[in-house]
């Protein structure tokens, strides 16, 4: 702490470095999750489409089987709902935006670490530049789900400090 209880430049940048680490990790986690959900929903939609096609052929050849028609109808509705969901959720774009945010937070984090490596030369200008760069990254970054932030904090807490 500097005189008068005001945090000094080093203390501010060290605290910000921890925050940037959390955001970097969280956006990586979010990117991986949205990639995962894109695969899950895509595979599920493809499988349901196959079931619908198969059951339609079966119901056409054995028109007396009501159960087959019900299965075909339900699978058809689920397939349509999942297909619409894939368009609305847009997991590939979300994954891409979170990946880009993670890269930008990582770059800013490295800049802060370089500034801290030269801590005896730090000035208020370094803090101002970091603050401006952080605001710029934050404006373009997608919002993180709360659960992802929690996951990132747990992951960081489990990593041993560097020597």
pLDDT of residue 136: 97
Total domains present in the chain: 1
Q: Does residue 60 lie in a domain region?
A: yes
pTM of the predicted model as reported, rounded to 2 decimal places: 0.78
Q: What is the pLDDT of residues 68-118, one digit of tens each?
A: 667 777 777 788 787 777 776 789 999 999 999 999 999 999 999 999 999
Inside any domain, residue 86: yes
Q: Give residue 54's pLDDT.
A: 74
Domain annotation covers residue 116: yes
Structural domain includes residue 111: yes
Q: Is residue 120 part of a domain?
A: yes
Residue 66 burial (CB count, 10 A):
9
Does some domain include residue 118? Answer: yes
């Amino acid at each position: 702490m500097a005189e008068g209880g005001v945090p000094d430049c080093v203390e501010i940048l060290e605290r910000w470095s921890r925050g940037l680490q959390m955001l970097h990790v969280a956006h990586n986690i979010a990117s991986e999750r949205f990639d995962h959900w894109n695969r899950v929903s895509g595979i599920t939609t493809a499988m349901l489409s196959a079931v619908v096609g198969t059951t339609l052929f079966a119901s056409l050849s054995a028109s007396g089987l009501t159960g087959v028609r019900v299965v075909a109808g339900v699978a058809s509705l689920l397939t349509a709902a999942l297909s619409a969901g894939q368009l609305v959720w847009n997991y590939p774009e979300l994954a891409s935006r979170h990946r880009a945010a993670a890269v930008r937070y990582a770059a800013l984090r490295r800049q802060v670490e370089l500034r801290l490596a030269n801590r005896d030369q730090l000035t208020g200008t370094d803090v101002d530049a970091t603050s401006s760069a952080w605001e710029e990254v934050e404006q373009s970054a997608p919002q993180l789900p709360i659960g992802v932030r929690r996951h990132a904090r747990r992951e960081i807490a489990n990593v041993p400090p560097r020597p």
